[in-house]
Amino acid sequence: MTIQRITSQADIEQSSVSELVDWLKEANQSYRVGGQSPADALYDAARQHLSYIDPMNELLAGVEPEPTFGSGKVVHSKPMLSLEKVYSTADINKFIARVAKSAKELGIDPETLEFKLMSKLDGIAAKRENGVWATRGDGLVGNVISDSFDKGIKVLADQPDTIGEIVMLKSYAASVGVEDDVARNIVSGILSSDNVKDFGQKALDAGAIHFVAFDQLQSHIIQGADWAEQVSAIEYALQEGELYPTDGIVITVLNPQLCEHMGENSREPRYSVAKKTQGEAVTATVTEVVWQVGRTGVLTPVVCYEPIKVGGVMNTKATGHNAAALVNNKIGVGAQILIVRSGSVIPTVIETITPADVVIVPEVCPSCSSPAEWSENRSGERVTVNCTNTIDCPDQLRERLVYFFKTIDAKNFGGSACAKLVAAGLDTPRKVYDSTNTQLISAGFGPGQARNLSDELDEPLARPLQDFKLLAAFGVHHLGRADSKKILIEHDIYRLFALTASDLQAIDGFAEVTSHSITRELMARMGEILNVLSLKFNLIHSSAVSTPTGEAKEGHGKRVVFTGKLSQTRGEMCAEAESFGLVAQSSLGKSSDWLVVGEKAGASKMAKAEQYGARVLTEAEYRAKVS
């Protein structure tokens, strides 16, 4: 799955706005249908970083949408909104202060306020209204899932109309060795599939899939405006007695008049928040702030401290997000900070306990010593500091090479390898492709390494490569994979430079400002892009992907995984599958439809296919279906 391309905080920070948006949409889509999806912590970290670098982005303005499934659509009588996520004591205090301010506007003493704290279930939000069951959908319109309840979902609610979550019993999940995130994916698969797969059906037959109304959950009532420090203990107590998977708690003010006064926006109510569980938090003292330069010239701070165990792992650094976050939170040498680590995400600073006396933001680029300047977001706020040298800044050139080769799935072109290439003057993809073994050895590679790099350069030329991947690899601002594909469904990659802003605006999702920016940058980089296109990649055109022909239609939309020794490399098989209109996955999951096996296919893969209900095909059987 393409969602695998972001697997760490470093990947998040090196991604552009369009790349983050693409990834978040793909991850959400997979999550909603029970497919392979990233850890919650990584998804939340990506959304949080997007909010730092582009707080006005439309993706942040509404509820994450669901794909269409079920037996129809229903308009909610009252919007089913998401909740604002908070992570730290400081975040909770900000929420309390917001409520207190609104209370004073109504003449209510904040000390008399009552708040309800209850478990946040890790399942799929749903509601029953007028006898119809529906999911949240986009908040306004949901998918009708009444048929799913006929499959065996147990309803633990007395009221005819109610709202809650569909979840799996923790005790059942533990008995069959299923982690919480997998349990949630199984529930998603039950709701989104016409034919429930074996593992989901077993859970239904065991009576382990429940709809739990929110008002049936354990809760704790707390009064006043000075209780944020108690939240962790309350959360622990609530979760200890909970029968279902949780990933935090929900905090809501109970005064109806105040709730009405505070209101809602298009995404969330202002009178309620979800405090997410992020793992163990520890205190550290900042010893240094190191600034890294990304491929677009953004300077990103890395906050360093003495070795400390965070989430069970020794660590010495955490992300500082961006220059504005560092300044606003007063993070510099000597500051005491609270850091947390969850899943595969490197530690993140979530709170400043003792601010630094001085916060230093670079005035010159640490890579090329060119001037560094602040940039503003669309609301006019200073957010990032950027190197003004976009031509020959070594760190930017290195990261552009890393990104290019990573996007076209070429291996062995990591940061250290690309740094050697740039230092030797091989600082563009075309120069690297034109290099000889002698040049690579002179750049600092051993003879064996040089041969391996040459082989890796040839591999993407020999196998089929989706044209949108090649276009996205250039890192044009606003052009991630999804938007590159939208363009190339309508226009040939070799005719990009004839496109006008009006041509792009005619494509769904391209606004006027973005369209002008893309066409300007394409023209400015025409020589560079044409030089690479002249290498004659074996391109699969997006228009062909979107309109499979002949017998290939039988497998259109199927999710396929390849394993064992096949007639082509894994990359070639995946590219070919997508040319037939299939979705190639990197590993088996609940959403997988086919497992295509070659020689020496692992027994564990076969067992997983049976567990997930994926059909096992030999390569010959697979080809008979799609070609």
Identify the CA nearest to 169 among candidates 147, 186, 192, 149: 186
C-alpha angle 600-605-606 in degrees, rounded to nearest 5: 85
By the 8 A CB rule, do 14 and 294 touch?
Answer: yes
CA–CA distance, 20 with 6 (Å, rounded to integer): 9
Q: Are 307 and 315 in contact (CB under 8 A)?
A: yes
- Residue 308 backbone class (left: φ over 0; alpha: ψ -120 to 50; beta: rest): beta
What Rg value do the Cα atoms of the chain yield, rounded?
A: 26
Supply 418's token pair.
């690309």
Token pair recorded at residue 396: 């930017």
197 assigned to active site: no
What is d(CA 388, CA 166) in angstroms, rounded to the nearest whole number? Answer: 51
DSSP 16: -
CA–CA gap between residue 42 and residue 64 (Å, rounded): 16
Which position has the token pair 């070659």?
598
Task: Please identify which of the residues 73, 120, 309, 608 carries the catalytic annotation.
Answer: 120
Please give the torsion angle defined by the CA atoms of residues 168, 171, 172 and 176, in that order, rounded to the nearest 10 degrees.
120
What single-letter amino acid sits at 80? M
Answer yes or no: are the C-beta atoms of 247 and 124 closer than 8 Å. no
CA dihedral 584, 589, 593, 598 (to 10 degrees): 70
- HSE on the CB side for 584, CA within 13 Å? 17
- Measured CA to CA, the distance from residue 165 to residue 188 in angstroms comes to 11
Active site residues: 120
